[in-house]
Chains A and B, each alone.
Chain A
Amino acid sequence: LAKTTQPISMDSYEGQEVNITCSHNNIATNDYITWYQQFPSQGPRFIIQGYKTKVTNEVASLFIPADRKSSTLSLPRVSLSDTAVYYCLVGITGGGNKLTFGTGTQLKVEL
């Protein structure tokens, strides 16, 4: 099963913009790309979802290139409370269309 890969960790300071990329070469044609945030001892929480181009909501933006083989989550002005693990979720082809979480990115925000 092809992996959906992300950087292991990122460090930032409060007020900065953070961009986290997910690589998903074998994304299924009809699948959306969804990003989740997870705090310790909690289940993942929905951040944003998109199919192509750019999507923006009140907390983040999602950039998806035309080939859809990657996606970038953008957090505009991070705060300490954004320290968490961030996952992308896509459907991956090959042996069926399997929902696959990315490897996860630990974001640490400091003052």
Chain B
Amino acid sequence: EAGVAQSPRYKIIEKRQSVAFWCNPISGHATLYWYQQILGQGPKLLIQFQNNGVVDDSQLPKDRFSAERLKGVDSTLKIQPAKLEDSAVYLCASSLGGPHTDTQYFGPGTRLTVL
């Protein structure tokens, strides 16, 4: 079974620039998550989709971050404009069903450096 795919793996940008990350979940997984992991900390949930709909985006900085899940499959996370404090690894995960009971499978992450 193919795992969660993410691209790019690494990205370096200057502050105030825009950046986008892509995630392809495991086939058939209804729930998709984006996490931000700052160096030395645990992942922080940014947004959670169930099929096409947003379940929880309470910790997404909506003035600069946006995310969408096209046709309930792939997802993109965008930052515009980026700030220095956005430097982190952005992890995508998916699960077959409900977020609070089902196992999440993680991609390798995208490491973002904002200069």
Contacts and interface: CB of A to CB of B under 8 A. Distances in A.
Q: Do A and B come from one complex?
A: yes
Interface of A: 28, 30-32, 34, 36, 41-46, 49, 87, 89, 91, 95-104
Contacts of B59: 98
Interface residues of B, number: 25
Contact of A101 (B42, B56, B103, B107): B42
A104 B48 contact: no
B67 interface: no
Interface string B26-70: 000000010100000111110010000000101100000000000
Nearest to A49: B103
Given A46-B104, A96-B56, A101-B42, 9 more contacts: A44-B43, A49-B103, A87-B43, A89-B104, A91-B100, A96-B58, A99-B100, A101-B35, A101-B43
B42 A46 contact: no
Contacts of A36: 106
Judged by DSSP, the binding face of B is loop
Given A96-B58, A101-B43, A102-B42, A43 B106 contact: yes
Contacts of B107: 43
24 contacts: A28-B100, A30-B100, A30-B101, A31-B100, A31-B101, A32-B101, A34-B103, A34-B104, A36-B106, A41-B108, A42-B108, A43-B91, A44-B43, A44-B104, A89-B104, A91-B100, A98-B56, A98-B58, A99-B45, A99-B56, A99-B100, A100-B45, A101-B35, A103-B42
Contacts of A28: 100
A88 to B, nearest CB: 9
B106 A44 contact: yes
A98 B99 CA distance: 10
A30 to B, nearest CB: 6
B33, B44, B48, B100, most chain A CB atoms within 10 A = B100
Given A42-B108, A43-B107, A99 B4 contact: no
B78 to A, nearest CB: 20
Contacts of A101: 35, 42-44
A75 B6 CA distance: 30
